[in-house]
A and B are shown apart, each in its own frame.
Chain A
Amino acid sequence: GDSVTQMEGPVTLSEEAFLTINCTYTATGYPSLFWYVQYPGEGLQLLLKATKADDKGSNKGFEATYRKETTSFHLEKGSVQVSDSAVYFCALSDRGNDYKLSFGAGTTVTVRA
């Protein structure tokens, strides 16, 4: 079945540092890939998505590229802010799995001023 593996946290960074969160996936078909963010005490928000190989999703300075050859969708941001402190979830959605979202375990990111 489908599964998502993302790097374990927690990750602690200083403001303006570079952030990378690794995500790899296993899927039987051709999934769409997503990054969701969960701020403290809130629900999940879609951060970015990519629906086919080599697509790059981007939003709020975050980027991720759908790499079919390495089955990866790593999240990056060049200069983080304190307000980026949150839990980040990598997820996939696949027709063969009724389009339900399969999530990774989540990575907690803390950015210090």
Chain B
Amino acid sequence: DSGVTQTPKHLITATGQRVTLRCSPRSGDLSVYWYQQSLDQGLQFLIQYYNGEERAKGNILERFSAQQFPDLHSELNLSSLELGDSALYFCASSVGQGVYEQYFGPGTRLTVT
């Protein structure tokens, strides 16, 4: 158990819908990272937050957004969902910003039908 929690574990929704994925980092960790794992794209970095502020952006679509709240949990919002958004979404946390170990949550499996 990494100490990072993600909810829900599974999500099935229809095209055009909007969903919110939630992540709680390990106690004491200030950085949260979101990654997408799909068969065709592999593991891709989406976005990082550090202590409530966005710090880095990767291959994140404009239909996707995220935020980190004062209690340090983070939410990833996916809207206007398409079939191609079906993937595993992982959250990871680390102590700070830098070359710190990232601890991954169990992931949320999103299926868009």
Residues of A participating in the B interface, judged by any CB pair closer than 8 Å:
32, 36, 42-46, 49, 51, 89, 93, 95, 98-106
Contact = CB atoms under 8 A, between A and B. Distances in A.
Contacts of A45: 2, 104
Given A43-B2, A43-B104, A46-B103, A99 B90 contact: no
Contacts of A101: 33, 35, 43, 45, 92, 102
A102 B107 CA distance: 18
13 contacts: A32-B99, A42-B106, A43-B2, A43-B4, A43-B104, A46-B103, A95-B99, A98-B55, A99-B48, A99-B56, A100-B33, A106-B42, A106-B43
Contacts of B48: 98-100
Contacts of B45: 100-102
A55 to B, nearest CB: 12
The list of the 3 closest CB pairs from A to B, nearest first, reads A98-B56, A103-B43, A43-B104
Contact of B56 (A89, A100, A104): A100
A36 B43 CA distance: 12
Interface residues of B, number: 24
B56 A43 contact: no
A106 B38 CA distance: 12
B6 to A, nearest CB: 8
Nearest to B6: A43
Residue among A43, A44, A100, A104 with most chain B CB within 10 A: A43
B58 interface: yes
A49 B33 contact: no
B71 interface: no
Given A98-B56, A100-B48, A100-B56, A46 B43 contact: no
A37 to B, nearest CB: 11
Contacts of B2: 43, 45
Interface string B40-59: 00110100100000011010
B101 A43 contact: no
A2 to B, nearest CB: 10
A101 B100 CA distance: 11
